[in-house]
Amino acid sequence: MAALSGLASALESYRGRDRLIRTLGYCCQLVGGVLVERGPARADVGARLLAVSSQLSGCRTTLRLFDDVAMFLYTKQYGLGAEEEDILVRCVSVLGNLADQLYYPCEHIAWAADARILHVDSAWWWALSTAFWGLSLLLGIARSLWVVLKLRQQLRSPSATVTSQRSRSTRGAVEARIQSELVTLLSNLADLANAVHWLPPGFLWAGRFPPWLVGLLGTISSLLSVFQAARASGGAGKAAS
């Protein structure tokens, strides 16, 4: 009953609902892709699951029409990252925010072109939005790698070897942050593989992934995102209590 209440609570928020739609969509693509490749006997069920996945993806695209303002406010609040002590983290984060900000209008134009609202080449705008998404993921990967490197150096420093209660508490917090950054890194790597696949053919492995592999990578990324959200929610609950 507690799990059901937690699910209902998550679905009341936009981000929680988006995570569920994303996870279900990629799971349907994974299972549907596997069934299609296993032969004609199960191809019909697989095709239906792929259709469900496509509809869920379209649902998320439509909902993202309203994300620009939230992204703009976040970008404005972060600014040039004056609160960040590390200059590399600051620069990478600012560039990542810019890439995210540009991603949304490009996707909106592509969506409007597919809906025949705008008379432009939707393929070009889809490719551009995907390129901005891939750039954001690359910057996120670089940021996570750098943060993990700096945190591990911090753990190896002489001050971190002191066995006081405060030192153990600080060390635990640093290790928890390293784990969080590694989960984010794996999620971004899975998404980046798919982002390259959706770019125009001829660029690296673009267009070469079968549906089941796209679904597998997306499912991994989605589950890691759900894990991160649940972990953050649990941490907030402990802090509040």
For residue range 57-108, list pLDDT tens digits in order.
999 999 999 999 999 999 999 888 888 878 999 999 999 999 999 999 999 9
Name the 3-class secondary structure at 136.
helix
pLDDT cut 70: percent of the chain above it: 90
Residue 161 has pLDDT above 60, yes or no: no
Q: Quote the CA–CA distance of 180 and 221 in Å, as a whole number.
A: 14
Give me the mean pLDDT over the 121-130 stretch. 97
Structure confidence at residue 36 as a pLDDT band (50, 70, 90): very high
Domain ranges of the chain: 1-65+211-241
Q: Quote the CA–CA distance of 9 and 13 in Å, as a whole number.
A: 7
Query: And the tokens for 91?
Result: 């620069």
- The mean of the pLDDT values for the chain is 89
Residue 112 has pLDDT above 90, yes or no: yes
Q: What is the pTM of this model?
A: 0.89
Report pLDDT for 1: 67
Which residues, 6+ apart, have CB-to-CB distance to 98 below 8 Å? 75
Name the 3-class secondary structure at 207.
coil
Give me the mean pLDDT over the 8-28 stretch. 89
Residue 180 has pLDDT above 60, yes or no: yes
Residue 202 parent element (H or E): none
Phi, psi dihedral angles at 47 (to 5 degrees): -65, -35
Report pLDDT for 241: 40
Q: Which of the two residues, 173 and 214, has the higher pLDDT score?
A: 214
Count of Cβ atoms closer than 10 Å to residue 56 Cβ: 20
Residue 158 has pLDDT above 90, yes or no: no
